Structure 1
Amino acid sequence: MKKVLALVLALCLALSLAACGGSGSSSSTPAASGSGSEPAASTTPTAAGSVYYLNFKPEQDEAWQTLAKAYTAETGVPVTVVTAASGEYETTLMAEMGKSEAPTLFQVNGPVGLANWKDYCYDLSGSDIYTQLTSDDYALKEGDTVYGIAYVIESYGIITNKTLLEKAGYTLEDIQSFEDLKKVAEDITSRKDELGFAAFTSAGMDGSSDWRFKTHLANLPVYFEYQEDGISTTDAIKGTYLDNYKAIWDLYINNSTCEPSELSAKTGDDSRNEFLAGEAVFFQNGSWEYGNLTGEGKYTDDDLAMIPIYIGVGDEANQGLCTGTENYWCVNKEASEDDIQATLDFINWCVTSEQGTKAMADDMGFVIPFKTAQESPNLFVKQDAEMTAAGKTPVSWNFTTMPSEEWKNGVGSALTAYAAGTSDWNGVVSAFVDGWASEAALNAA
């Protein structure tokens, strides 16, 4: 309890995970019964304990509930899945860890997120799931201690409606750089009434959507600065490519389905629904959106593609999608021995059994970094693999090095004010550069 109280006192400094899609709400469904399932590839668990998984990804809540029930039906081990609302994971985790029945399985977003929860992390170096990783790159380690294990690799970029793009007179081959994207988007805007659709969906800055821009889009200038300086983390960002950040943000907000002044109230659902309704060609989001865009009378793979987020920096002809992870499973070492073993058995089953790997590939659309992974049917995952095989360089996920959620919120507020016309771009620069330095100093104190 002392650790939890210390965390509560440090709430203003808490580092929140960047949301990856969805605006789902918290839900709790204990797994009690379900249909039969295929035999697990690994040894059937015999643990006497139970599992409580605090899930980070709202868009996969239903799939996790189903998989948990199947596991319980097969093993008799109770599994409860609770899903935090989008953007609320860190505060939900903090609240849940203070309860007598705390999560046995939770998530951190990388080294920065781990700082808050290291004292709660069971050492996974001797676990079965650790031996299943395809690379040690997917283990969150300090020395020989394994604090977390990445369970999904994802990609994001600009999801494109190829059918609408062709109606506007263009193909994917016409967009190979920022200048190409700008030309196409501004031409579509000039003919918006004639065409009946816009270039971009709304760049909503509501909490269910703003992570796409204060975190995922902000990754691009950070990535290119890191590349130029030959570093992978820093306590003082210089803002070398913030003019490029401005250029892509201007393109988004000035060639959209709505006026820039309306963005503060636009949600993630608004943006997705605009894309589904054929109101815009481009929609910045990730591979996790695939299931929301396809099936049940929605789009087919023939309608869709994902292209890189170009900002006018680097070798754009050979730039790939933004690919990486901020999703690391951690097991609560404060749980009972039985619950720890039950949790270790459950996650190992998820990544080794036929039913577990199939659910993660088909129902969740995940690429998982484990030896027994099944191929995902997700179009965007396949396109990322094709780009990489063709020699294009993926843009790494560097937002796990962003100093705090407070920093992200500052950047988000500045972006919103700039879009609304109540502040100039210097406000964004200050939030980005000065805000980074001040938050990094607080972390170091």
Structure 2
Amino acid sequence: MKKWQTMLSAGMAATMLLAGCGSSDGGSSEGGKTDGSKGSVYYLNFKPEQDEAWQNLAKKYTEEKGVDVKVVTAASGQYETTLMSEMGKSGAPTLFQVNGPIGLKNWEDYAYNLKGTPVFDQLTSDAYALYNGDDDVPAIACCIESYGLIVNEKLLKEAGYTVDDIKSFDDLKKVSDDIAKRKDELGFTAFTSAGMDGSSDWRYKTHLANMPIYFEYTDKGINSSEAIEGKYLDEYRKIFDLYITDSTVPGKGLAAKTGDDSRNEFEKGEAVFYQNGSWEYTNLKDAGMNPEELTMIPIYFGVGEEENQGLCTGTENYWVVNNEASEEDIQATLDFMEWCVTSDEGTTAMADDMGFVIPFKDAKKSDNVFVAKDQKMTEEGKTPISWAFTTIPSEEWKNGVGSALTAYAADPTDANWDKVKTAFVDGWKTEYDLTNEK
């Protein structure tokens, strides 16, 4: 039995015991139905930065359709733990997310077959569905996103450069080092803080870690692996070094720095570069930043034909409908999903407020400048960097790499980088074996 199954069984047993001792109201206090005949929706959302937008959208749907929609958002880095806990309760989520085939393995027994449902039929491509055989679709992608280095072009120009001066890692280092060297004169530096707090470290133990994984996979012509060699960890170190030396905050101070800290530094004009994704567009615009002064460039890594490198584009957001929910709740959930990806209210919220490219036929196009940048680069023949990090064997692997990176940031020695390598390579094999044990 897998670790998560043991935890879930224990949670369900506890829930049943409590149910036997307690509630007599005949309904699910957690489901929160307004009308039992209509069913209800409980969506466990993966992305904290979109919580407000989902809460607003749920409220609109309830007002329009009279069907209760409850949205709960897991804390950053705690989604799988929260999902395990919630699935062990009565009134469990009717809709939840997995990050791809690896994440689906834990939950495929709970996945309702979406093949032939209206929301499935809205997909623009079969590539956005996860198949288990020809006629079983346990999960579908709800959005496509891109990430890279968000650039304040106004500050970059004040420093004497444009994005045309940055076409490789060597270019990025030259520009970054120069800006950091003149930070007192300029009034800003190169990078926002590479915060290693749980709200921020996913940018480095997941999104930046994608780069060495992707290039190793590309070399081998594979798209997943039970082991990683760490061929490109030297390049991983070089760019992380840029982040922690040409930064608003010294490496020793990064352990406590949050995602909000990093964004606030960028919004206040304290740094030119901010590693993050298209989902940040609305936050930056709402903070008063001029979209015409913002763009996104690739995370140049010093590998391959960098002049032809695009942004990191893909998804780790696949919707799964809980097949153990009641028939009424499943139907209510399918109706809500279809409304989200076809209605003006739903697609406007997902495209504009959440910053998604929505892979559905009737969806609204986004006005997100980072999305437009990705599309332009792809049209120019640049090769997007695919999201290889969805094959990371476990959240525990990420945590191990994150802890080692935090220690290295505070004391960037060869010995501490060796610990990053150990967490990356040995940790991968260990976690792969644990998560694939019979």
Identical positions, percent: 67
Q: 1:111 aligns with which of 101, 107, 110?
A: 101
| Structural mapping, 1:217-296, within 5 Å | 217-295=208-286
Contact 1:4–1:97, Cα closer than 8 Å, also in 2: no
Q: Which amino acid aligns with 2:352?
A: D
Q: Give the partner amino acid of 2:105.
A: A
Q: In structure 1, which of residues 383, 391, 394 is the aligned counterpart of residue 381 of structure 2?
A: 391
| TM-score, reference length from structure 1 | 0.90
Quote the Cα distance in structure 2 between the aligned partners of 1:47 and 1:255.
59
- Mark the CA change 1:199 to 1:437 in structure 2 (over 3 Å): closer, same or farther: same
Would the aligned equivalents of 1:149 and 1:328 in 2 still touch at CA under 8 Å?
Answer: yes
C-alpha separation between the residues in 2 aligned to 1:3 and 1:239? 27
Tell me the distance in 2 between the aligned counterparts of 1:31 and 1:281: 48
* Structure 1: 4+ residue segments shifted above 4 A: 2-5, 28-32
1:417 aligned onto 2:407:
yes
Paired residue secondary structure (2:254): helix
Which residues in structure 2 correspond to 1:81-92 (within 5 Å)? Answer: 81-92=71-82
Structure 2 residue identity aligned to 1:6: T
Q: Does 1:127 align with 2:117?
A: yes
Q: Extract unaligned runs of 5+ from structure 1.
A: 12-27, 33-45
Equivalent AA in structure 1 for residue 417 of structure 2: W
Asked if 1:376 corresponds to 2:366, the answer is: yes
Change (3 A) 1:360 1:284: same
Amino acid at match of 1:308: P
Contact conserved, 2:33 with 2:39, CA < 8 A, in 1? no
Secondary structure, aligned partner of 1:106: strand
Structure 1 residue aligned with 2:428: 436
Seen in structure 2, the aligned counterparts of structure 1 residues 123 and 130 have a Cα distance that, compared at 3 Å, is same
Q: CA RMSD in A?
A: 2.0
Offset, 1:126 = 2.5
* 1:148-178 Cα shifts (integer Å, max 9, x gaps): 1100000000001111111110001000000
CA gap 1:10/1:300 in 2 versus in 1, 3 angstroms: farther
Which one-letter code corresponds to 2:426 in the other structure? D
The structure-2 alpha-carbon separation of the partners of 1:260 and 1:10, relative to structure 1 and needing over 3 Å to count, comes to: farther
For 1:358 and 1:120, the matched residues in 2 are separated by 30
For 1:157 and 1:338, locate their aligned partners in 2 and report how far apart those are by CA, in whole Å: 42
**Residue ranges of structure 2 left out of the alignment (5+ in a row):** 12-29
**2 CA distance for matches of 1:276 and 1:29?**
39
> Does structure 1 residue 150 correspond to structure 2 residue 135?
no
Measured against aligned partners, the alpha-carbon deviations of 1:12-36 in whole angstroms (never above 9, x if no partner) come to xxxxxxxxxxxxxxxx99797xxxx
Provide the residue aligned with 1:356 in structure 2: 346
Could you list the per-position Cα deviations for residues 123-170 of structure 1 after superposition, in whole angstroms to 9, with x for gaps in the alignment?
A: 111211111111111111111311111000000000011111111100
Once the two structures are superposed, what CA deviation does each residue of 1:202-257 show, in whole Å capped at 9, x if it has no partner?
10100000000000000001000111100000001011111100110111111101
SS of the aligned residue for 2:197 comes to coil
Aligned residue for 1:178?
169
CA contact (8 A) 1:319 1:393 kept: yes
- Partner of 1:238, secondary structure, is coil
Aligned to 1:37: none
Deviation at 1:4, TM superposition (A): 7.6
Equivalent pair of 1:29/1:65 in contact (CA under 8 Å): no
Provide closer, same or farther for how the CA distance between residues 178 and 161 of structure 1 changes in structure 2, counting only shifts above 3 A: same
What residue identity is the alignment partner of 2:421? V
SS in 1 for 2:113: coil
Q: For residue 424 of structure 1, report the CA deviation from its aligned partner.
A: 2.3
Contact 2:9 2:88 in 1 (8 A): no
Q: Secondary structure at the match of 2:81?
A: helix
Residue type matched to 2:197 in 1?
Answer: D
